Amino acid sequence: MASARFFSYVLFFFFIFFISPIFPCHAQNVTLSVYYETLCPYCADFIVNHLVKLFDEGLSSIVNLRLVPWGNSVMQPDGTFLCQHGPGECLLNSVLACTIIIYPDVKWHFSFILCVERLTLQNKSNEWVNCFDMTGLGTVPIDCYKSGYGNVLEKQYAAETAQLNPPHKFVPWVLVNGQPLQEDFKNFVSYVCKAYRGEKVPEACQSIPLMSNSLKKATINNPASLLNADTPYSITLLLIYGIHFWLLSLL
């Protein structure tokens, strides 16, 4: 009897002090990561025709967008890069890496990337320099590239891409809070809205279903998934209190 009561209190305080802190009490932005390569037509289509929706109806206010321009590139033993669409892609990947770090505001660097990818879709990627004038950004990223720092950034992106688990199968490879969307990447808005746990829900999330059929099926087949990092904090505490007092009732 006493040991059972002791166990119930140990379990209760374990959840309170060690488990419950991992559930955020405050609104947190959703991390949307896009692993891509500059001259890939599928990547360009996604960025120009789908990812741009991030800036509609307030969705960008709840998202931390990470663009990683490396994709299927390969770093050779001598430290040089081999890119899927040729040396021009290696150059542009490095320039965009520089643009991202020099203009950290997502609206700034995304506007430049969007311009470059539009040109890619139009088979005018050789006109990418014009995107500086078109977006009003300075040409400092070119200096960054010429200094060799762009290649340093690309090596970091190469290492990050290589560490993806599971490994990327194609590009664009899109993750929401570290979870790959696989072939459903164009439906990223629904996943972002589902992952968001803040109070200020943007308009973009108010008129779409928050769970796809595959997600519903996964939840039904794995009830334990109901209690994870996406579970609202208040519901988690109710579950903890319920378990605690149920154990006490057995004493």
Helix, strand, coil fractions of the chain, as percent rounded to 5: 60, 10, 30
- Non-local (6+) Cβ contacts of 125 within 8 A are 38, 39, 88, 92, 116, 119
Q: Indicate the pTM of the whole model.
A: 0.74
Cα–Cα distances in angstroms (integers) from residue 208 to residues 194, 202, 215, in the given order:
10, 11, 14
pLDDT one digit per residue (tens) for the chain, 251 residues: 444 433 343 343 333 334 434 444 334 899 999 999 999 999 999 999 999 999 999 999 999 999 999 999 999 999 999 999 999 999 999 999 999 999 999 999 999 999 999 999 999 999 999 999 999 999 999 999 999 999 999 999 999 999 999 999 999 999 999 999 999 999 999 999 999 999 999 999 997 765 444 444 443 344 333 334 333 433 343 344 344 444 444 55
Say if CB 40 and CB 93 are below 8 A apart: no
**Beta strands per DSSP E along the chain:** 30-36, 63-69, 74-75, 81-82, 173-176, 179-180
